Amino acid sequence: MITRAKQYQDAGRPVPFVQVHACAYLLEALIEAGPVKSDGMGNRVALDWHDLKAYADMTGAVTEAWEASMLRRMSMAFANGLQEGKSAFSIAPVDREPTNG
């Protein structure tokens, strides 16, 4: 499978990465927890509340309810992005117009 990053590299263009400034520790926590998991059928799905609770209990990195909620939303977006990335007609998140939600 050819990734979007590979397509940019093959075209001689820089790969567009999203810059994260505020709450970067949440991105680090998501990556450390594993942004997605397998559903047993080989599909990548978002972390569920049990996964996030286990991560929070074991690391102490997440102590507030809003942080856990944000990690869940980030994991869901990551899983959705992986699904969308399989389509040649999908617009990469970095190329989309900003939304108010």
User: What pLDDT, on a 0 to 100 scale, did the predictor assign at position 40?
Assistant: 87
CA pair distance 86, 43, nearest whole angstrom? 12
CA end-to-end distance (rounded Å), the chain: 31
User: What pLDDT, on a 0 to 100 scale, did the predictor assign at position 99?
Assistant: 66
Number of domains in the chain: 1
Assigned token pair, 38: 């397998």
User: What pLDDT, on a 0 to 100 scale, did the predictor assign at position 85?
Assistant: 75
Residue 25: give the domain boundaries: 18-85
DSSP the chain: ---HHHHHHHTT-PPP-----TTHHHHHHHHHH-SEEE-SSS-EEE--HHHHHHHHHHH----SHHHHHHHHHHHHHHHHHHHHTT-TTPPPGGGSPP---
User: What pLDDT, on a 0 to 100 scale, did the predictor assign at position 2?
Assistant: 72
Residue 2 lies in a domain: no
Residue 3 lies in a domain: no
Residue 22 lies in a domain: yes
Q: Output phi, psi for 84, to 5 deg.
A: -65, -35
User: What pLDDT, on a 0 to 100 scale, did the predictor assign at position 13?
Assistant: 87
Regions of the chain with pLDDT less than 50? none
Residue 9 lies in a domain: no
Residue 78 lies in a domain: yes
